Amino acid sequence: MQTVNIHEAKTHLSRLVEQAAKGESFVIAKAGKPMVKVVPLNAPDAGQSKRLGFMAGQFSVPDDFDRMGQAEIEQLFGDDA
């Protein structure tokens, strides 16, 4: 990962932002001490993963799922609705 000093970052901000947007993260340092890390917004945080479909194939939904407990519900609330 590239490290740039704060003066260089101010001078070349547009170029550095374009690089970061393309996935090339960089660190801005002041007097040689790392201060901030610049990453693209669409990059997931460390340890974060996409959750959609994470349990695919591990269970199945019954065909009558939307009617499960129907008799009990009708008994409690009536079937007038």
Tell me the backbone φ, ψ of residue 38, rounded to 5 degrees. -105, 120
pLDDT digits (tens, 9 = 90+) for 13-64: 999 999 999 989 999 999 999 999 999 887 666 666 667 788 888 988 889 9
Query: Percent helix, strand, coil in the chain (nearest 5)?
Result: 30, 20, 50
Q: Which residues have a Cβ under 8 Å from the Cβ of 62 and sit 6 or more positions away?
A: 68
> Residues in the chain, how many?
81
Q: Which two tokens stand for residue 56?
A: 């695919």
Q: What is the pLDDT of residue 54?
A: 81
Domains and CATH numbers, the chain: 1-40 (3.40.1620.10)
Cα–Cα dist 39/2, whole Å: 12
